[in-house]
Amino acid sequence: MQIGILGGTGPAGSALGVRLASVGFDVVIGSRSRYRAMEVVDKLLDRWDGRNLPVTAGDNADAAGADVIVIATPWDAAYGTATSVAEELDGKVVICMANALTRIGKEFQPLVPPRGSVAASVQAAVPGCRVAAGFHHVPAKELGDLDHPIESDVLICSDYSDATRTTSEIVAKVPNLRPLDAGGLSQATPIESFTAVLLQLNVHYKTRVAVKFTGIPEAAVPPDDGADEGGTGAREGSE
């Protein structure tokens, strides 16, 4: 499977890119500038020389040509970036990892974007794609350090069960990451907002936290909820 990352030149997208490449996905790091993507990919391949990571560079349109697309831009750029490659995204699973946050003094505060979450605004920008929200709480530095395993639960939500399933399968390929089906896309609002709490903990305890939930049996991929019947891929109750 090829995974394209829009805004993949930042810390989050490039970290996710190398981690996914390390478990066998072909990754395209996308950028508004193909040359910036090439520079970033050169640096990543230099850092992880000897691992033969299947990572290539392109512009965002190239990345959007992949099988599954991740949006790793700042929150206020996600809608415009998705719109700019809407044709390529049509019919595909799009994973949105953007968090709408701001820092006021020493406090991280969640923002409420139009439609309640960044993921919902991307779904509205490109109605023909199937957005799943995921990877919001995985710290980039640890994610991108291939010398060390990263341990975290990954909350995923979508109005399309096949988008949740595809995202879960991608997450589950990474050792010690556990995908959790958190429900429909409306859950993206609290999932994105909760990131502010994690960043606040990072500041307070001078660390980088990740989330791990107790009480859920260790199942890598959530069971199929059968909501695909009829072939629409939409969860029951979604439009």
Ligand X SMILES: NC(=O)c1ccc[n+]([C@@H]2O[C@H](COP(=O)([O-])OP(=O)(O)OC[C@H]3O[C@@H](n4cnc5c(N)ncnc54)[C@H](OP(=O)(O)O)[C@@H]3O)[C@@H](O)[C@H]2O)c1
HSE of 135, CA atoms in CB hemisphere, 13 A: 33
Cβ proximity to ligand X: between 99 and 187 the closer is: 99
Q: Check binding of 4 to ligand X (CB under 6 A).
A: no
Phi, psi angles (nearest 5°) of residue 129: -95, 175
Q: Which of residues 37-96 bind ligand X (CB under 6 A)?
A: 72-75, 77, 80-81
Q: Judged by CB under 6 A, does residue 154 bind ligand X?
A: no
Decide: is 10 part of the binding site for ligand X (CB under 6 A): yes
Least Å from the CB of residue 30 to ligand X: 8
Task: Give the range of 2-10, 19-27, 161-169, 225-233 binding ligand X by CB under 6 A.
Answer: 2-10
Grouping H, G, I as helix, E, B as strand and the rest as coil, residue 156 is strand
Residue 102 binds ligand X (CB under 6 A): no
Q: What angle do CA 49, 29, 14 make, to 5 degrees?
A: 65
228 is written with which tokens?
A: 């695909």
**164 counts as binding ligand X under rule CB under 6 A:** no
Q: What's the CA gap between 121 and 167, in Å, rounded?
A: 19
Give the whole-angstrom CA distance, residue 45 versus residue 54: 9
- Assess 193 for contact with ligand X (CB under 6 A): no
138 is an interface residue for ligand X by CB under 6 A: yes
Contact 222, 164 (CB under 8 A): yes
CA distance linking residue 181 with residue 172, whole number of Å: 12
Query: Closest by alpha carbon to 108, among 77, 85, 75?
Result: 75
Instruction: CB nearer to ligand X: give 7 or 179.
Output: 7
- Rounded to the nearest 10 degrees, the angle between the axes of helix 75-84 and helix 118-125 is 20
The residue count for binding ligand X (CB under 6 A) is 25
| 191 vs 234 by CB, closer to ligand X | 191
- The least distance separating ligand X from the CB of residue 176, rounded to whole angstroms, comes to 16
User: Rounded to the nearest whole angstrom, what is the least distance from the CB of residue 110 to ligand X in the complex?
Assistant: 11
Instruction: Give residues in contact with ligand X (CB under 6 A).
Output: 7, 9-13, 31-33, 36, 72-75, 77, 80-81, 97-99, 135-136, 138-140
